[in-house]
Amino acid sequence: MFKLTASLALLVSLASTVSAEQHTFVFDNRCGFGAPALVQNGRVLFVSNGPIHNYDAFTVGNSLVNFTSFLSSGSCSTSGNPTGTNCTVVHGTLALPGQGGSSVQINAVDGGFPTTFAYTGGSGSGCWDGYSSNGLTGAGPVETCAANDVNLAIRFC
């Protein structure tokens, strides 16, 4: 009986120390127009309440593969595809290192508008502090991160 009780206590202890994967996006809209949006494979996951809310956050409880974030302002469609000029998108994947890790890239169409991202939080190493689209036309470099549960801060303008 003691062995069974001790084994159950050990299993409960181990289960309580295991945490689920989680990633938080923090959006900072300083443009005075538009609403930050987050889309995955054409499915809208999050749209901010608009330009008066400078900081909005959205958390996912698992990997987010093939996401696109953009400022919904008429220059980008609801899927994040450019529909005109001045469309800047941030796209990538947030995942644990054992699942391929995280990678993010900015794409400024026709110059876009200033957009910056930075990896935040997480445990581990190998994360780039951030990247800005200033002066960028087209796709910027892919920035990778090998940390667990990394978050992403995105600033528009």
Q: What is the pLDDT of residue 6?
A: 38
Does position 106 have pLDDT exceeding 50, yes or no? yes
Model confidence pLDDT, tens digit, residues 50-65: 666 667 888 888 999 9
Q: What is the pLDDT of residue 67?
A: 92
Model confidence pLDDT, tens digit, residues 76-100: 766 556 555 677 888 899 998 888 8
Residue 98 neighbours by CB under 8 Å, 6+ apart: none
Domains of the chain: 21-156 (2.60.110)
- The more confidently predicted of residues 129 and 18 is 129
Q: What is the pLDDT of residue 16?
A: 36
Closest CA to 91 of 154, 21, 24, 33: 154
Enter the pTM of the model: 0.79
Tokens describing residue 133: 């689209």
Are the beta carbons of 92 and 99 closer than 8 angstroms? no
Percent of the chain having pLDDT more than 70? 72
Are the beta carbons of 108 and 133 closer than 8 angstroms? yes
